[in-house]
Amino acid sequence: MPELRKDPIIGRWVIIATERAKRPDQFAGQVQQLPAEKPCPFCEGRESQTPPEIYAIRPKATAPNGPGWELRVVPSIAPFLGVEGELWRKGKGLYDLMNGIGAHEIIIETNQHIYDMADLSEEQISKVITCYIDRIVDLERDKRFKYVLIFKNHGWIAGGGRVRHSRSQLIATPVNPKRVKEELVGARQYYDYHERCVFCDLIKQEIDLKDRVILDIDGFIAITPFAARFPFEVWILPKKHCADITCLNMPARLELGRIMKKVLAKLKKGLNDPSYNYVIHTAPFRREKAGYWKSIDDDYHWHIEIMPSLTRVAGFEWGTGFYICPLPPEDAAKFLRGVEV
Amino acid sequence: MPELRKDPIIGRWVIIATERAKRPDQFAGQVQQLPAEKPCPFCEGRESQTPPEIYAIRPKATAPNGPGWELRVVPSIAPFLGVEGELWRKGKGLYDLMNGIGAHEIIIETNQHIYDMADLSEEQISKVITCYIDRIVDLERDKRFKYVLIFKNHGWIAGGGRVRHSRSQLIATPVNPKRVKEELVGARQYYDYHERCVFCDLIKQEIDLKDRVILDIDGFIAITPFAARFPFEVWILPKKHCADITCLNMPARLELGRIMKKVLAKLKKGLNDPSYNYVIHTAPFRREKAGYWKSIDDDYHWHIEIMPSLTRVAGFEWGTGFYICPLPPEDAAKFLRGVEV
């Protein structure tokens, strides 16, 4: 009998469709005919092929937009939002709109032509985290923005495009994304009732139950969520309560690099290099204005959600908000625990 | 400059990414290498290949599960939810779950081996509508269910599978789907403030503005929504206020069949037979218990949402609730108005 499970944070029900369940290893191995690789503009020595860098980790002796860097951030050449201009809002009859002010940046995670973040070193991944934090802190100064979304599209199916060089993206937006707002509101409701953080409670329960834990190392835990939307959906959470990723100190960034590399390597090896997306959910800017100021630091908890692209059913979920996950998250966690990396 | 637009019902912001915009005709023609077609179990004469029918439109002289029918409904052979048993709910620490009680039915829309609903006659489509209504009315009697979701997955990319015979699906659920709940709450808030239905206001405004109207015939209107999530997203709405699709009388069902055929034919011809999903959003069962009883009939408005599968960006949207639509809905409407069918 399938099970209906409710996400404890935002209250979304999902169907864990055990009747249709495949074995975990059946999700692997669907290698796709990919379009030809494009020449890479992101490798060291090709700095002139990108717009000028906004940020870089590079020795002081090297010049901006020249070689010698370890990590670069450049504006997107096809931005979703434009960075110049005043933000305006207006009504149009019953509709509300604003001009598309925002920032859209590409985080080039390595100077080597490496495709999957799983193949970067732990130290290099921790530098990517440092870059995320530095960019969030910098963009928070811009009063037009309310949020910075950090995400990764890896692989063709996940929207990763035809350039096979490991990178993430960032979009600064003048509104809070719906999913983040839902989490803030849901976590706040839980806190109002229990006076505890829902994520902290969830982490404690997962550590007790063990069956959805993939890795529990240092200050971080990687789990498959109870009400998973997708097979092999993985969340990485800091075990210590923290609303905002920018609070992470250097040792914790290294620990995060370590667990991210391990999780991504397990997905890569166990599922035959799947496409995936991840998003970072962290507290929004200037929280006091968002109506959550009172104890935001107590009721929200930043985390990373990783979503491998292994199933096709999409439009139905888009149209209904009803997700059907064909693999129990306990089976996914057990499988991933068993993948040696 | 791209635009940020807010859906007036559920308050979701989308980016209409004009900078990345392609011409409407550039979305067409991505013909895919499809897996081989499977032998069809849904054609007339192969009734023994499906589970026994739950419902059929067939002359009285014909026997159930034999030939002679015009339309059949059968249980899914791989159901998402199981129909037998008592519904239970329980907690598991901080988690909530229930057993997966529900119904999952396949609506075989024709006895002919026709793939796209666009190729059925208007009369046949109106019979499909009648079947939807009859099944909703029947399933409402089962007190375990709160909602019936009717949807269609057409084409490989949209989850339509390898059998190319026109069909829709229904899932009766013991919970209200999240998207439907959001619409009910949003429409209620609008009604509380304005004492008018947000959908009725939206229809009036679209008819005045004209630029997002694809078709306005008889009692129905087909538009591209102001805050479209996907290129060529189309909504079909009854112009007369009505919360519940089951209220549609016979002449109105024929009118709906007419506009659905025209819209689907325009998508098929204009975009080279794209995969698509549609969902029907109608009022939930036993509304008085859902907390919306007071004037549900005044504040909600049933409609159909059609989502062609033309873009790939998915995980990002899943993770953030932030949609980026690479085609202004005004351009999509203009293009579809121009497709002769």
Quote ipTM for the complex.
0.88
According to the model, what pLDDT value does residue B289 have? 46
Distance CA A341, CA A338 (A): 9
Residues of chain A with Cβ-Cβ distance to B279 below 8 Å are 315-316, 319-320
According to the model, what pLDDT value does residue A36 have? 82
User: Per-residue pLDDT tens for A224-235?
Assistant: 999 999 999 999
Are A198 and B314 an interchain contact pair (Cβ–Cβ within 8 Å)? no
According to the model, what pLDDT value does residue B32 have? 61
Nearest CB to B316; choose among A17, A20, A277 = A277
When pLDDT is cut at 50, 70 and 90, the band that residue A280 belongs to is: very high
pTM here is: 0.92
Are B321 and A177 an interchain contact pair (Cβ–Cβ within 8 Å)? yes
Residues of chain A with Cβ-Cβ distance to B230 below 8 Å are 318
- Do the Cβ atoms of A169 and A107 come closer than 8 Å? yes
Nearest CB to B307; choose among A8, A175, A319 = A319
Q: Are strands A13-16 and A323-325 parallel, antiparallel or unpaired?
A: parallel
Residue type, A277: N
What mean pLDDT do residues A45-55 have?
97
User: Per-residue pLDDT tens for A174-209?
Assistant: 988 888 889 999 999 999 999 999 999 999 999 999
Residue A220: pLDDT above 60? yes
According to the model, what pLDDT value does residue B247 have? 92
Q: How many CB pairs under 8 A join A and B?
A: 224
Q: How far apart are the first and last CA of chain A?
A: 34
Chain A: give the shortest CA distance to residue B62, in Å: 34
According to the model, what pLDDT value does residue A312 have? 66
According to the model, what pLDDT value does residue A293 have? 46
For chain A, the average pLDDT equals: 90
User: Per-residue pLDDT tens for A132-146?
Assistant: 999 999 999 999 999
According to the model, what pLDDT value does residue A296 have? 57
Residue A263: pLDDT above 60? yes
According to the model, what pLDDT value does residue B201 have? 96
Residue B31: pLDDT above 90? no
Are B320 and A177 an interchain contact pair (Cβ–Cβ within 8 Å)? yes
Q: Please tell me which residue of chain B has the smallest CA distance to A201.
A: B94
Q: In this structure, what token pair is assigned to residue A102? A: 């925002």
Residue A257: pLDDT above 80? yes
Residue B313: pLDDT above 80? no
Are B97 and A4 an interchain contact pair (Cβ–Cβ within 8 Å)? yes
- Do the Cβ atoms of A234 and A267 come closer than 8 Å? yes
Q: What share of chain B is helix, strand, coil (3-state, %, to 5)?
A: 35, 25, 45
Neighbours of B193 (CB within 10 A): 9
User: Per-residue pLDDT tens for B282-299?
Assistant: 998 876 544 544 445 788
Residues of chain B with Cβ-Cβ distance to A16 below 8 Å are 100
Share of chain A above pLDDT 70, in %: 92
Chain A: give the shortest CA distance to residue B29, in Å: 16
Q: How far apart are the first and last CA of chain B?
A: 34
**How many Å separate Cα B301 from the centre of its chain?**
14
Are A78 and B19 an interchain contact pair (Cβ–Cβ within 8 Å)? yes
Q: Which CATH class is domain B3-82+94-338?
A: alpha beta
Chain B: give the shortest CA distance to residue A63, in Å: 31
Position with higher pLDDT, B23 vs B281: B281
Domain spans of chain B, in order of start: 3-82+94-338
Q: Please tell me which residue of chain A has the smallest CA distance to B326.
A: A80
Q: Please tell me which residue of chain A has the smallest CA distance to B154.
A: A315
Residues of chain B with Cβ-Cβ distance to A198 below 8 Å are 94
Residue A8: pLDDT above 90? yes
- Do the Cβ atoms of B281 and B183 come closer than 8 Å? yes
Chain B: give the shortest CA distance to residue A80, in Å: 6
Nearest CB to A319; choose among B4, B15, B151 = B151
- Do the Cβ atoms of B230 and B157 come closer than 8 Å? no
Nearest CB to B8; choose among A3, A95, A226 = A95
A3-338 belongs to CATH 1.20.20.10: no
According to the model, what pLDDT value does residue B336 have? 97
- Do the Cβ atoms of A274 and A239 come closer than 8 Å? no
| Burial class of residue B282, CB neighbours in 10 A (0-12, 13-18, 19+) | buried
Chain B: give the shortest CA distance to residue A59, in Å: 33
Nearest CB to B2; choose among A81, A178, A307 = A81
What mean pLDDT do residues B213-235 have?
96
What mean pLDDT do residues B77-98 have?
90
Residue A114: pLDDT above 90? yes
Residues of chain A with Cβ-Cβ distance to B316 below 8 Å are 151, 153, 159, 277, 279
Are A100 and B209 an interchain contact pair (Cβ–Cβ within 8 Å)? no
When pLDDT is cut at 50, 70 and 90, the band that residue B78 belongs to is: confident
Mutation target to probe the B interface, by most B beta carbons within 10 A, among A209, A316, A323, A330 is A316
